[in-house]
């Protein structure tokens, strides 16, 4: 009968000579950018390599635009990660894998993967928006004494919102217009264009078109127009929504008003007090929030 040490050596030799099959990888498109490719760890694996390109088939064992050797597993998996690559819906990743086991190399070639969903770094899956996107109708708000605000609601995948417009002059095809700007970030759940300088009056017509980049694809809403009927008080979008806003950072105990020679009121807002700014029935109202009282001052 063989000693136990000999039996152990025979078993190890048998396992090392058994042919290894590169397992099916797990591929993850990361949001907003990046890709993660991994295989499970197993005895004898010494190196894992990923080679791939986006929307470009690989010629035999080409290195590809993405490639790296991984020499250590993490949490039971061999993981390749590239956080710089930008993946779009329905992009195709062409790739091949290489694994070294007990000093021998094994390949899995001629593979491809179509992007169908994203995951965040917390591994929560972010489904891709389905179907063709339609740019929503914009909310157009002429402001007083001057200014214009145009906005659309935020939705998954939107990267840029652009507004292009003229006052009382129709747009020529896709011209930039006298008012134009690319908005890079949403505010309070909306993508907001603001021009604080344009002066509008009742009866003016705003001709415009809007453009949205969503999941890397561009969409337009052309030939739009808006006739000015009413002017809204020019509240800052960062401090107020269209109807009401809570504002902090004031410090005295009362709001004072003084009459000006032209019959208008100057309002002095105290420091350290919370207050709400409300637009109701066309009037701007400032409502201090005081623990004991709730005084309302209408301007």
Whether 123 and 143 map to the same domain: the answer is no
- Rounded Cα distance, 296 and 106, in Å: 77
Q: How far is CA 81 from CA 41, 52, 127, 228, in A?
A: 16, 12, 20, 52
**The pLDDT value given to residue 113:** 93
Q: How far is CA 146 from CA 172, 200, 257, 280, 299, in A?
A: 25, 6, 23, 19, 18
Whether 8 and 115 map to the same domain: the answer is yes
- Rounded Cα distance, 53 and 87, in Å: 11
Kindly state the helix (H) or strand (E) to which residue 9 belongs, with its residue range. helix 4-17
Nearest to 206 by CA among 232, 181, 229: 229
| Residues 282, 284, 290: CA angle, nearest 5 degrees | 140
Whether 17 and 69 map to the same domain: the answer is yes
- Rounded Cα distance, 114 and 111, in Å: 11
**The pLDDT value given to residue 243:** 38
Nearest 5°: phi and psi at 65? -75, -20
**Number of Cβ atoms within 10 Å of the Cβ of 51:** 22
CB-based contact 37:80 (threshold 8 Å): yes
| Residues 62, 67, 72: CA angle, nearest 5 degrees | 130
| Residues 244, 194, 231: CA angle, nearest 5 degrees | 60
**The pLDDT value given to residue 131:** 58
Instruction: From first to last of the 299 residues of the chain, give the pLDDT tens digit.
Output: 556 554 444 455 545 557 899 999 999 998 878 999 999 999 999 999 999 999 999 988 899 999 999 999 999 999 999 999 988 877 899 999 999 999 999 999 999 998 877 887 555 555 555 557 889 999 999 998 889 999 999 988 888 999 999 999 999 888 889 999 999 999 999 999 999 999 999 899 999 999 998 877 788 999 999 999 877 765 544 333 333 334 333 333 344 444 444 444 445 555 544 555 555 554 555 655 554 444 443 33
**The pLDDT value given to residue 87:** 85
- Residue 133 resides in a domain: no
Nearest 5°: phi and psi at 298? -95, 135
Integer-rounded Cα radius of gyration of the chain: 31
**The pLDDT value given to residue 129:** 59
Nearest 5°: phi and psi at 217? -110, 145
Nearest 5°: phi and psi at 17? -90, -15
Domain extent at residue 147: 139-233
Nearest 5°: phi and psi at 213? -100, 120
Whether 14 and 89 map to the same domain: the answer is yes
Whether 117 and 144 map to the same domain: the answer is no
CB-based contact 285:298 (threshold 8 Å): yes
**The pLDDT value given to residue 124:** 57
Rounded to two decimals, the pTM is 0.44
CATH number at residue 150: 2.60.40.2140
Q: How many domains does the chain have?
A: 3
Q: Is the dihedral of CA 109, 112, 117, 120 positive or negative?
A: positive
- Rounded Cα distance, 232 and 174, in Å: 28
**The pLDDT value given to residue 159:** 87
- Residue 59 resides in a domain: yes
- Residue 239 resides in a domain: no
**The pLDDT value given to residue 2:** 58
- Rounded Cα distance, 203 and 104, in Å: 79
CB-based contact 185:192 (threshold 8 Å): no
**The pLDDT value given to residue 83:** 92
Whether 143 and 68 map to the same domain: the answer is no
């Amino acid at each position: 009968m063989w000693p136990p040490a000999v039996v152990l050596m025979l078993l190890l030799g048998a396992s090392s000579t058994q042919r290894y099959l590169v397992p099916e990888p797990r591929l993850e498109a990361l949001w907003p950018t990046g890709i993660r490719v991994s295989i499970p760890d197993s005895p004898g694996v010494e190196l894992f390599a990923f080679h791939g390109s986006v929307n470009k088939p690989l010629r035999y064992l080409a290195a590809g635009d993405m490639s790296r050797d991984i020499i250590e597993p993490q949490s039971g998996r061999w993981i390749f990660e590239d956080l710089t690559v930008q993946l779009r819906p329905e992009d195709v990743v062409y790739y091949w894998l290489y694994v070294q086991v007990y000093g021998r190399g094994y390949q899995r070639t001629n593979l491809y993967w179509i992007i169908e969903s994203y995951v965040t770094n917390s591994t929560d899956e972010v489904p891709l928006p389905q179907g063709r996107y339609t740019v929503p109708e914009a909310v157009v708000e002429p402001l007083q004494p001057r200014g214009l605000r145009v906005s659309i609601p935020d939705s998954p995948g939107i990267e840029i919102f652009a507004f292009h417009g003229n006052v009382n002059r129709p747009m020529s095809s896709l011209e930039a217009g006298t008012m134009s700007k690319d908005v890079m970030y949403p505010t309070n759940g909306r993508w907001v264009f603001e021009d604080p300088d344009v002066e509008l009056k009742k009866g003016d017509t705003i001709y415009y078109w809007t453009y949205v980049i969503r999941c890397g694809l561009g969409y337009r809403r052309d030939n739009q127009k808006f006739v000015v009927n009413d002017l809204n008080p020019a509240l800052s979008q960062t401090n107020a929504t269209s109807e009401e806003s809570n504002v902090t950072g004031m410090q005295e105990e009362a709001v004072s008003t003084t009459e000006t020679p032209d019959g208008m009121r100057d309002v002095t807002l105290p420091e350290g007090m919370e207050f709400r700014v409300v637009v109701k029935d066309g009037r701007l109202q400032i409502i201090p929030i005081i623990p004991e009282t709730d005084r309302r001052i209408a301007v």
